[in-house]
Each structure stands twice: as structure tokens, then as C-alpha cells.
Amino acid sequence: MATPPLIFVLNGPNLNLLGTREPEIYGSDTLDEISARMVEQADRLGVELDIRQSNHEGHLIDWLHEAQARGAKAVIINPGGYSHTSVALHDAVKSISTPVIEVHLSDPERRESFRHTDLVALAASHVIKGQGAKGYLSALDAAARL
């Protein structure tokens, strides 16, 4: 039996606090709840997920490199605040041939002006924003279609 295609799901800083952190912006779903729905959908789509979260920029960069090395079909990433500040994360996304889909629960362009620049989006294959937790499922559908 063939191994199902692998999709990495990488979550950046403060996403471990979902459900309690500013629910009026990010919703009341926890990262574990979002991940569980993603796993259910992945089973239906016939793909395997490797879901991770870190508050450390270097971990996200290492995991992007690992996704490439392991032959992942795609990476779904919510870089959190690093979207707006990390040239290194931008460069890591740009340096791999694995397609990267960026997800944001809120729409950064409708928030504070410092969130309007998205460095990761400049290198990502696709960006999904403002759909809340459903954005992760939209990203998974898009990744599975690649």
C-alpha cells in the first residue's frame, strides 16, 4: 500500500494560546481543536499531517527545511507575528521547492497598520486569511489538490 502524501502544518508564536487569547479576534477554538478537525479532514482526503507549534522562529525555519527533506507535498503555515517581521522566515519559505500556503485566522490588512506588510506572503504559494479556524481547512483542501 502506498504511503499517503505528507503535509506539514506549522504554527508560530502564541498560537498555543488559541481559545483564550483575544477570542474576539482569533476565535474560541483551541489549536488542539483545530488540529483535530484537520486530522479528520486529512483522513477523508487521503493525506497525512505532521502538525507542530513553536514560539521560536528557528524551529519554524528548521521545520520548513525538514518538510522539503522529507518530500512533503505541501506546508501550511501560520507564522503568527513573524509574518510581519521575519526576513529569515521569508527566505526559508523561498528557499524550498515545497509549496507553502500561509494561513491567518484574522485578516491582518483589517488590523493595525504594522500588520499590513506580510513578508512570508511574498514567498508563499497562496495566502488564506480572515476565515477563522475554517481557513486551516481551506488550506488543507488547497494543499491536497496540489
What cell was used for 5? 502524501
Answer yes or no: 136 catalytic: no
Report if residue 92 sits inside a domain: yes
Indicate the annotated binding residues.
Answer: 78, 84, 91, 105-106, 115
Q: Give the pLDDT of residue 26.
A: 84
Are 77 and 14 in contact by the 8 Å Cβ rule? The answer is no
Q: Give the pLDDT of residue 119.
A: 96
Structural domain harbouring 10: 6-145
For the chain, how many structural domains are there in total? 1
Report if residue 64 sits inside a domain: yes
Report if residue 82 sits inside a domain: yes
Q: Give the pLDDT of residue 111.
A: 75
Q: Give the pLDDT of residue 58.
A: 98
CATH number at residue 118: 3.40.50.9100
Answer yes or no: 26 catalytic: yes
Report if residue 1 sits inside a domain: no
* Catalytic one of 26, 82, 90, 136: 26
Q: Give the pLDDT of residue 16.
A: 97
Report if residue 128 sits inside a domain: yes
Report if residue 25 sits inside a domain: yes
Model's pTM, two decimal places?
0.95
Q: Give the pLDDT of residue 116.
A: 76
Amino acid, single-letter form, for residue 75: V
Q: Give the pLDDT of residue 135.
A: 97
Q: Give the pLDDT of residue 102.
A: 97
CA distance 27 to 20: 8
Indicate the annotated binding residues for substrate.
Answer: 78, 84, 91, 105-106, 115
Report if residue 136 sits inside a domain: yes
Q: How many helices (H) and strands (E) does the chain have?
A: 5, 5
pLDDT along the chain (146 residues), means of 10: 92 96 87 98 98 98 98 97 96 98 88 81 96 97 96
* Catalytic one of 82, 90, 104, 136: 104
Report if residue 21 sits inside a domain: yes
